[in-house]
């Protein structure tokens, strides 16, 4: 089965571009599938046209029409809110029906954080997360959606811990959005990580890491907001290749979303991912 090239609007956040300008640029780059970044409520900077966020409190058909205007299809939504927080339940409960109304979106990426509130043990946090997911699963079932947990925090950047989180509810509606950069900066071997959790990966963020950031922060952080190295130019490039090789063996269709900081890095990032996949004889669409 093929990889699906998907481009996230969040990559243009460092450029302070609004969503429609980004969609136009994605189309100019020859791409078709989009990963939207959403929020609940309203953000002043988004309202002024400085951020690539779309509010799920706005009319979903407005976003549908905007995508159609630029000839793009919605593949996934990054609606990340730390899964330990009760707010994650509210965010997912609103975003999943909204995304279904936009275009039948099926993949919803959620996140973690490096620090958790004090007062609970690790085991208790697993129970909290399980309860939050249990509240969301009926909504995901109704809308044929998958909640894709991203390694981006204290519990999710550990392979065994992430595997427990996405399996403890015993639901096919919980999977993984694997982030190659976050796993690397957290001190893990991304390829070994992917190999352990590959059966649950439904979406990937393909992110490189600069040599300077790796030297300074590897093992000290649990995620990178946006990489200053375009994909293929950093110290994580070989790991990314291995991760893609492993996922190709699963014979499942996997959306791959390159991540880098802004328009100056995105064309090279997309090209590098496409070139590598094609060089190995793997299929990528569109």
Tens digits of residue pLDDT in 159-181: 999 999 999 999 999 999 999 99
The whole-number pLDDT of residue 1 equals 73
User: Containing domain of residue 199, as a range?
Assistant: 3-285
Residues in contact with 42: Cβ distance below 8 Å, sequence separation at least 6, in sequence order = 55, 57
pLDDT above 70 coverage of the chain, percent:
100
Question: In Å, what is the CA distance from 209 to each residue of 226, 231, 236, 240, 260?
Answer: 9, 8, 6, 11, 9
CB 96 within 8 A of CB 145: yes
- Regarding beta strands 254-259 and 146-149, do their DSSP bridges make them parallel or antiparallel, or are they unpaired? unpaired
Region of poorest pLDDT, from 49-53, 117-121, 180-184: 49-53
The whole-number pLDDT of residue 87 equals 97
Query: How many CB atoms within 10 Å of residue 225?
Result: 12
Three-class DSSP category at 174: strand
pLDDT above 90 coverage of the chain, percent:
95
CB 252 within 8 A of CB 175: no
CB 208 within 8 A of CB 184: no
pLDDT confidence tier of residue 226, bands split at 50, 70 and 90: confident
Interval 114-151: pLDDT, tens: 999 999 999 999 999 999 999 999 999 999 999 999 99
What is the C-alpha to C-alpha distance for residues 32 and 73, in angstroms, rounded to an integer?
6
Provide the CATH number for the domain around residue 58.
3.20.20.150
Phi, psi for 172 (deg, rounded to 5): -75, -5
The whole-number pLDDT of residue 46 equals 85
Interval 77-88: pLDDT, tens: 999 899 999 999
CB 260 within 8 A of CB 208: yes
Angle between helices 60-69 and 87-103 (to 10 degrees): 50
In this structure, what token pair is assigned to residue 145? 């959606």
- Number of structural domains (the chain) is 1
Query: Pick from 88, 115, 282, 104: which is nearest to 174 by CA?
Result: 88
Is the pLDDT at 106 greater than 90? The verdict is: yes
């Amino acid at each position: 089965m093929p990889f699906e090239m998907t481009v996230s609007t969040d990559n243009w956040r460092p450029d302070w571009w609004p969503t429609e300008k980004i969609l136009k640029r994605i189309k100019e780059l020859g791409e078709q599938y989009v990963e939207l970044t959403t929020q609940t409520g309203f953000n002043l900077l988004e309202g002024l046209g400085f951020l690539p966020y779309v509010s799920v409190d706005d009319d979903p058909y407005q976003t549908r029409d905007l995508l159609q205007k630029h000839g793009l299809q919605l593949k996934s939504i990054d609606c990340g809110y730390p899964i330990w927080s009760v707010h994650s339940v509210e965010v997912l409960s609103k975003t999943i029906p909204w995304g279904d109304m936009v275009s039948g979106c099926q993949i919803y990426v959620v996140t973690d954080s490096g620090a958790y509130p004090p007062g609970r043990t690790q085991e208790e946090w697993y129970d909290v997360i399980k309860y939050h997911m249990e509240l969301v699963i009926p909504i995901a079932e109704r809308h044929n959606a998958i909640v894709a947990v991203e390694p981006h925090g204290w519990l999710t950047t550990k392979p065994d811990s992430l595997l427990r989180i996405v399996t403890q509810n015993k639901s096919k509606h919980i999977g993984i959005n694997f982030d190659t950069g976050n796993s690397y900066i957290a001190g893990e071997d991304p390829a070994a990580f992917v190999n352990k959790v590959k059966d649950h990966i439904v979406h990937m963020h393909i992110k490189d890491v600069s040599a300077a950031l790796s030297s300074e922060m590897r093992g000290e952080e649990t995620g990178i907001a946006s990489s200053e190295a375009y994909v293929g130019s950093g110290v994580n490039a070989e790991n990314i290749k291995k991760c893609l090789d492993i996922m190709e063996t699963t014979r499942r269709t996997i959306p791959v979303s390159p991540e880098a900081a802004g328009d100056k890095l995105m064309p090279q990032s997309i090209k590098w991912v496409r070139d590598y996949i094609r060089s190995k004889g793997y299929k990528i669409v569109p």
